[in-house]
Structure formats: C-alpha cells, structure tokens
Chains A and B, each alone.
Chain A
Amino acid sequence: MQETILNDLKMPYCPGCGHTVANKSMSKAIADMDVDPLDVIVVSDIGCTGLVDPLLTCHTIHGLHGRAVALAMGIRMGLEHPEKKIIALQGDGGATIGLQHLLEAARHNLDLTLVVQNNMVYGMTGGQTSGLSSTEFKEPERPESAVPGYDICALAHNAGAAYTARTFIGKDTSELWKEALSTSGFSLIEIVEMCPAYGLRKVQELHDTADYESVVTRNSRAVGMPHRATGRSLLDGLKPIERTCDAPLDGRLEIIVAGSAGEAIQSAGDLLSTAGITAGLSATKKGDYPITIGTGFSVAEVILSRDPIHYTGIDCPDIMIVISQDGLDKVQSRIGGHTLVIADEKLGTELGGSPGPLDPPDQSGPSNVVTGDFRKTGGPKGAALAAIAHWLQDNGFLPIEALIEAASRHKHGDKMKVIIDKAVAA
C-alpha cells in the first residue's frame, strides 16, 4: 500500500466541512503519485485550513496568517532538492491578507503548489466575509459586503502562474492536485467549498451563489529559481593606500565640499580623503544629498587628522569649498568665524559688498574668502577638484603629490591629473 501523508487522527473539522474532503484528496494524490511523505513539505496558514498540520506525516511548517505562500517561496529558494514537493495551504482569508505573496509566487513561477480552500468566510472568528467571498455571500445587515470577490485564478494566471484551476468541492479533487503537483512552476488550485458552521450547507447552494466557474489555465514559462553566485570578497578588491609622503598637518582639519548633483562632489571628497591617507593621515568622509540624487545639492564632509578619528561630525568646518549656488544654500549657515571659504568666482562676486551669497548669517563674516574660476579650470565635473588643488597649493596642508597620487588610483585619473596641473598653474 502506498504511504499516505495523513496519519490516523480524526479530522478536526465540523461535520460536512469542505476541508476534510480537500485534505483527503491531497493525501490520495500524493499516494497515487507514489511520493514519499518525506519528499513533501506542507506549509500551512492560520485558520481552519491550518488545523490539518498535526495530521500530516510529511514535513510541516505552520506559520502566520496569510504568509504561507511567501514562506513556501523561501523554502523553495533555499532547498537544493527540486524533487521535493512544496504545498502551501490557505483559506480565502489567508489568500486575501497575503494576496501580494500569491502574485509574487506566480510572477516568479517558483515550483510550488498553492491550494486555496475558499469557503468564503473566516470560519475561526465568526464567519466574516473575505476578499474571495462571492457577491451573493453578503452579510444581510451589511449590504456593502457584496462587492465582488477577487478572481484569484485570473490574477495568478495573469501574474504568470504555470497552472491555475478552480473547482467545486463535493467530489474527489485528487486529479487536480496531481496535475498541479506534477506541473513545473507555480500552480494554484482554488477549491470553492463550504463552511457549514457559518456558510452554506449544501453543494447545490454553493453552485447557485458562487460567482465562480470551474477553470483551468496554463502559462508556458521558465521555472523561477534564484541565481547562486560564488561572491567576490568585498575587501580583496580594495587596493591598499600606500603612504608615499608626509603631511605637515598637526591636529584635525574639518573640510566641507559643496556643489550640485552631477558635479562629482562625492568623488572629490573621496579623493581628498585618499590624498590625506597617502600622506599618513587618518580620514573620514560622508556624503549628504537629497533623496533625489540627480538634482539639488551635493555635500561631502571630510575630516583629516594626525590622530585616529573617532567622532566623524563637523559643525563649523575649518575649510569650506563651494562651487555652486545649490551647495552654498545648503552649507552657508555652517560658516564659522574661523572658516576659510574657497568659492567659485560666480559665488564670490558679491563678496565684500552688502549682503551677498557668502554673507554668513551671524554677519561676522568669514575670516577669509578665496575665489577662483574653478569651473573654467576644471569644467563642471572638475571644479571641486580644481578648488581643492588650488587650496592645497596655496596652504600646503597636504603635499600636492598626495592628491596626484590619489587621482592616479581613479579610473578617470588622467583627466583628474590634467585638472590638478591646471589648477596649480593658475
């Protein structure tokens, strides 16, 4: 005799409940297909459908309401044994709360079978209607409950399920189960059935009131399975930064580079940091930009220090390099009395006059402002780098060779070096 996946415990369902018939069909299908119970994993949902869990002799996993399909997907993607059958069992309530998972499983076309036992009510909690209840199945005192139910077979089919079928309970449905279980890819069976406790009692009534027809649909698609990669070490590819020179800096220097999206502000910040490390300093860098990264400001905060850096925040920077109005608008309030501002010429034209873009809010004025035509020297994408080079050349916190060395590590290193040379010459 073939093994069955049901033990000999008594079914826990009310007399006449459709779940009893459905579970027997499942067991018969497995036995007919001669599948070993340990080659089957049943993922059960919350609700009366899930009460079958203790009766099963196969592998079982009993999870949350509505999530059985998502859980089953995870198991299928994790298991390296395609021959194992995975069956998710849900009621109409579970299918409603987890509709997204059902569509996702169909879209990925993972090899698993979902059986939705649609008795149009939440049996466990008092007979409320679900998203799969038919229009006729309204609660008399709540006419609004008569909105049409989801046609989950159509939804799953349109989302790409390999096989979908709807049938009515009352007879052995094992043939459909076998069809579903032998289909490669995602298969869904919706069994329209009765909850005698809260719903309809007779099969005939079920046919009369349900909006549904028996259907079978198929999609011919590749079966989904995630790609398994070897994975490359995230550290091995990092080229060590050799210390090639010395920086005269003694202590900590806080620098803000500000400009607009698309002006390579972040790579300028990275370059400055790398230059600092090349010269034997510690460096930190963080970026700040709007969530819409293609527009608005872009700010890089860089700290260079002789000692290890713990705290990575900057309040009023020592140096502020600003190359666009967006950048200035973002960081102007952080200019302090000690801040040296290096600004593109266009932002600096009103400097020294009455309120201009570089007037700090506290009116005390930056201690020092240097301007230059960095856009001309570096172009829009190289202006920040040109300003950095110009500043380093001027004050010598870092040898300019450190910046050139840092640039040489970059994929656009040659272009960068040209900009640095031009900025230094200017």
Chain B
Amino acid sequence: MTADGERMVFLDGSRLIIEAMARAGVGAYIGYPITPVNWLFAGAKQRIPIALEAPDEITALQWSAGFSSSGVFPVTASAFPGFALMIESINMSFMMELPMVIILAQRLGPSTGSATTGGQGDLLLLRGCISGGYSIPVFCPSNLNDCWDMAAASVHTSVNLRTPVVLLTSKEMVMTNQNMNISSLREVQRAERHVFEGNGEYKTYGVNGNLAPPFLPLGNDLHQVRLNSSTHDMEGITQKNSPEALGNTERLKNKIEQRIDDYTFYDHDRAEDADTVILTYGISAEAAREAVGSLRSGGDSVSLLVMKTLLPVPPRIYELLDAYEHIVVVEENISGLLRELLFGNRQDGRVFGVNKIGNMITPQEIAEGVRQCRKPS
C-alpha cells in the first residue's frame, strides 16, 4: 500500500540536521551538553567522524576554531546560556574568517529560564553579537524538510563566505518526532573550500575578485598562514587602524552582505488579492501554516511569508512585504524581536504582532491576530 519509492520514517529534526551536515562535509562536532541540543549531540556521536565533549562552551568554540583553521569543518550546538559564553570566540572566528556552524536551539529565557520550554528569544542577540554590528548569516528551519535543507545551506554558506554561520532553531523543532518520507529529501553536495593554488605569493587575507579569501590550512608546507583575531592587514599582521586593515575589516561586512541573494531562503505562499500577510519563522511557522489553511477555508484570503534566512535581512523580504497592507508578525516572545529587526522601534499601524511565551503560539491565536490587525485602531 506504500507508494513507490516512499520511505516513511518517524524521526526528529536533530537527526536530519546532523545527517545533512555530515553529508555536507562536517568533520567534527564539539559539544557541551545543554538541553535542548541533547539529540543533536547524540546523533553527532554516531555520525560525525570526530565528536568531542568540550569542558565548557568557550572551549567548544576555541576547539572549533582550531579544527577549522586546520581544514576540518566543525559544528557545535547550544542554547542561549552556552551561546552567550561563545560570543567572544565567534567574533574571533569571524575576524579570522574560519568557517563553522553554531546551532542555537532556543528555549525560554531570560538566563537559564526554562530548559525544556521552547522559545524564540535570541534573534536580536544574533543581530548584535558581532561587535560593530556585522552580520553573520543566520538560517532558521521551519519544518523537518528545512532542518535538512537549511543545515546543508548553513555549511555551504559558511564555506563559501569563510564565516561562522548560525543555524537558529528551537526545542520544539529538534525534540519532536514526526513522520516523514525521507526519499523526498534533496541530495546534499559536499561543501568544498576554495583553496589557494599555485606557488605565487600568498596572503592569508588577500582577495582576488571573490570577497572571501582562498584558504590554506595552518601547517601547510607551501605558504605561511597568519590567522589573526585583531584588526589586521591582508597578510594577517596586527595593525591599529591602517587604511589596509580597516579596508580588510570593511570587506568582512561586504562579503556577507553582497552575496545575500545567493543564500536568501523563504517560503512565500501568496493568496490572490490578499491584503494581509503572516510573517514568521522557525517553530511558529508551522502554526501559521495551519492558521492560513483554516482562514482560507473560511473564505479569508491571507498570505504567508516564512523567513528561513533571517540575517542579514534579505532585501527581497521587504520587496515581498511591500505588496501588503497588513503584516502580522508571529513569534514566540513578548518583545517582538523580528518586528523590531525589520521595522524598528517605531512601527506604524501596518505591523501587528502575535506574541506569547511559555507555549507555542496556536493556529487559533494567529487567526485571531489576522482578524484583529484589520480593525481600525
């Protein structure tokens, strides 16, 4: 009775994320235990060639940077408390231009909050985590298929741009089992680093057209490699604020932003004549899909825009939103982080928030938000 070629299994997002990353070429997983990344860690121990337990999250990131600089692609995972400890080292890796993925599984905060309750409270932390306001790419899966696709995209983007990348998810995505036909999963290509070739002069941060410099591992026999976390010139030598060094720092911003179209991912489910769009990401997207279904079957034409590339904010998102009179932003926090990211602190009547903490936002609450947003205030 099963359709041809179908492989229906019952599995969780953690397993898909780790498997996709392994296929994309992840060579090391460095973890420090924290709920809700338990299943990611467990999967990595079975799947990733090197899986290590670090004694703390600062070490986890430093080891990751060490692996990355010697040519092995590393992944680590944590929740806010551990991620907070990693931030200085993520800045270091950003500055050194070391590819790696940090999986951030959100849970209810502030602080240690509630380890086994989901949440969507870390978006603006990611927006500001690099000193100077530079963006690191942040991807966010909205369902099991995305766990696969966005995990692979994280690794590829990280390698292509030579930058740390965050895969932002939440407890409900990585610790819920669901049925899935895994034969529908896309093939994942291995991400290959753009390696410096030839015997000419090599400058660690020398770029040639492409804004991400070609890579050579520490310890290679051909050229001296100088990785540096401090402001540095193209050779990797510390400089206070020489034009070359400041130009290099500016390049770090440009290389991420200029290629945003290469890694802009979203689902836009547009209804004809819709004046309202539900805008959301991550775990709230699934409730929104259900809400859209029930609203439409009740005759209410409403669109849905699910962001999967959250940072830097893709310009395409604004273009899509321009078509709507009402934007209902759904996220599991009470501060409206995505709303603030996109529309600032002074939002006009076009923007309406559906927010809560402690439990997932329900389809009914989203439908109610859609009705509310159209009422004249």
Contact = CB atoms under 8 A, between A and B. Distances in A.
Interface of A: 37-39, 41, 53-54, 57-64, 67, 70-79, 81, 84, 100-101, 104, 226-235, 238-244, 270, 273-274, 277, 280, 282-288, 291, 309-313, 315
A53 B228 contact: yes
B221 A61 contact: no
Residue from B27, B115, B229 whose CB has the most chain A CB atoms within 10 Å: B229
B229 A41 contact: no
B335 interface: no
8 contacts: A38-B219, A38-B223, A61-B218, A62-B229, A74-B69, A234-B46, A240-B6, A282-B179
A65 to B, nearest CB: 9
A407 B238 CA distance: 64
A291 to B, nearest CB: 6
B179 A235 contact: no
A306 to B, nearest CB: 13
B162 to A, nearest CB: 15
B66 A76 contact: yes
B252 interface: no
Residue from A57, A59, A243, A273 whose CB has the most chain B CB atoms within 10 Å: A59
A311 B290 contact: yes
Given A76-B66, A77-B66, A78-B70, A229 B49 contact: yes
A57 B225 CA distance: 9
B46 A311 contact: no
Contact of B67 (A77, A270, A313): A77
A64 B69 CA distance: 15
A286 B176 contact: yes
A173 B64 CA distance: 33
Nearest to B227: A61
A60 B63 contact: no
Given A41-B219, A78-B67, A100 B56 contact: yes
Interface string B1-37: 1100011111100010011001000011010000100
A245 B30 CA distance: 44
B28 A242 contact: no
A286 B172 contact: yes
Contact of A310 (B74, B220, B225, B289): B289
B102 interface: no
Residue from A239, A270, A286 whose CB has the most chain B CB atoms within 10 Å: A286
B224 A71 contact: no
B96 A54 contact: no
Contacts of A286: 172, 175-177
Given A54-B238, A75-B66, A232-B47, A100 B59 contact: yes
A74 B62 contact: yes
A229 B46 CA distance: 9
B286 interface: yes
Given A71-B62, A101-B59, A311-B360, A283 B224 contact: no
Nearest to A277: B179
A285 B177 CA distance: 5
Interface string B226-261: 111110000011100000000000000000000000
Contact of A38 (B72, B224, B286, B362): B224
B179 A241 contact: yes
B62 A244 contact: no
Contact of A64 (B2, B92, B172): B92
Interface in B162-184: 172, 175-179, 182
A81 B219 contact: yes
B290 A313 contact: no
A239 B176 CA distance: 18
Given A61-B228, A228-B49, A238 B286 contact: no
B238 A310 contact: no
B89 interface: yes
Given A84-B219, A291-B35, A310-B290, A77 B92 contact: no
B370 interface: no
Contacts of A232: 46-47
B50 to A, nearest CB: 5
Contacts of B52: 77, 226
B282 interface: no
Contacts of A228: 49-50
A101 B62 contact: yes
Nearest to A243: B1
Given A39-B219, A77-B28, 10 more contacts: A38-B221, A70-B59, A70-B63, A71-B66, A226-B52, A228-B50, A239-B9, A241-B179, A287-B175, A310-B363
Nearest to B55: A104
Nearest to A281: B179
Nearest to A406: B10
A61 B19 contact: no
B69 A61 contact: yes
B212 interface: no
A59 B224 contact: yes
B278 interface: no
A74 B67 contact: yes
Contacts of B10: 241, 270, 273-274, 277, 283, 285
A312 B176 contact: yes
B43 interface: yes
Given A64-B88, A75-B69, A59 B226 contact: yes
B354 interface: no
B228 A240 contact: no
A84 B64 CA distance: 19
A74 B116 contact: no
B176 A311 contact: no
Given A61-B227, A238-B182, A311 B43 contact: no
Closest 9 CB pairs of A and B: A74-B66, A78-B70, A70-B62, A74-B63, A78-B67, A75-B66, A310-B286, A61-B227, A78-B72
A111 to B, nearest CB: 13
Contacts of B372: none
B105 interface: no
A64 B94 CA distance: 13
A100 B55 contact: yes
B359 interface: yes
A54 B10 CA distance: 55
Given A59-B224, A70-B58, A242 B176 contact: no
Given A64-B89, A71-B65, A74-B65, A313 B287 contact: yes
A207 B147 CA distance: 61
A241 B9 contact: yes
Residue from B28, B177, B223, B289 whose CB has the most chain A CB atoms within 10 Å: B177
Residue from B19, B35, B66 whose CB has the most chain A CB atoms within 10 Å: B66
Contact of B22 (A76, A78, A226, A231): A231
B58 A67 contact: yes
Nearest to B7: A240
A270 B68 CA distance: 38
B62 A242 contact: no
B65 A284 contact: no
Contacts of B15: 234-235
B81 interface: no
B156 to A, nearest CB: 19
B143 interface: yes
